A = this chain, B = another copy of it.
């Protein structure tokens, strides 16, 4: 976690500034970022929450390709509607290919091949996958970037009532996901744009970032199934177009939104559920054998309890370590100082800066109980 006092000059939002300063991301090119190890841990924690809640709805996960043939987009009629944001290239056999900004065409192509009877329906399929968009003006770090991680789900039903039910189930799952990631959000009726359909709602996270849609769900209807001939036979044998819904989440955007909603002047204050490490163990003075050994022992105990922890054993001042701990937002700190001689350590909770003195031998157990009570997943 290479921390820095300076934010990049192009950082306009607090999440962009803090993600850079806390060593979570590194800019490779305009709108193109690497998730450094701590940042990637957050992203994977978010991904796990999204996956858990999607699986709970009964949706099945698959993985579609980013590379798509333009022929599918001609079928749906969207090829000419997409602007310069869609990355296209002509392959070495002179076929027009594209990097899909969304997957309605590919999923409809799959479903029309394998789902032809009402007996196999309804079905909801989802993926967590990297998408590409050649933004005119990439901004806000990972929020409006040219490469990002999305969860996109697609439901296929035999009637409108089925769509309404699945849509409602997804809407609830979305609420659990965003709450689970520590976001405060609102749901707003929205314009369906180039995705289409008659009704859509977007989930907007609280924060100062002017972009921040973190989810968008659509009742698509038969737009794609009619143009791409995705039909099923109902119980009377009649052929009908499948009725579709689609449901997107900006997985990488959640990371930024969580920071927008969980920080203070000193830095990030991670929700326990997605923190890269739950605990930081800070020996106040690494030159004292007793302090360092106590810190190492607590770090080991945390590990054996399955708690992700870091040990800040740098030979630096306690003040500097606290400043980095505040910036990086570890939810729980175990501070090992002079009281180690009396068999005590200080446990500090980042949110609210509440401190307690705890017997050294009980410290790891205390932390474990605290995390379980505060949404460690």
Contact = CB atoms under 8 A, between A and B. Distances in A.
A36 B62 contact: yes
Contacts of A72: 28
A132 B67 contact: yes
A344 interface: no
A67 B32 CA distance: 7
Given A2-B114, A29-B69, A97-B29, A62 B35 contact: yes
Given A40-B63, A43-B63, 13 more contacts: A28-B65, A28-B67, A29-B67, A32-B67, A34-B62, A35-B62, A35-B63, A36-B110, A37-B61, A40-B61, A65-B147, A66-B132, A84-B92
Nearest to A127: B40
B63 A106 contact: no
A65 B136 contact: no
B37 A62 contact: yes
A147 B40 contact: no
Interface residues of A, number: 46
A305 to B, nearest CB: 18
Contact of A147 (B60, B66, B132): B66
A40 B134 CA distance: 28
A198 interface: no
Contacts of A30: 93
Interface in A106-142: 106, 109-110, 113-114, 125, 130, 132, 134, 136
A151 interface: no
Contacts of A67: 28-29, 32, 132, 146-147
Q: How would you classify the secondary structure of chain A's contact residues: helix, strand, loop or mixed? A: mixed
A357 B151 CA distance: 44
Closest 3 interchain pairs by CB?
Answer: A29-B69, A35-B63, A2-B114
Interface in A15-31: 23, 26, 28-30
Contact of A87 (B68, B89, B136): B89
A37 B64 contact: no
A91 B87 CA distance: 8
Contacts of A93: 30
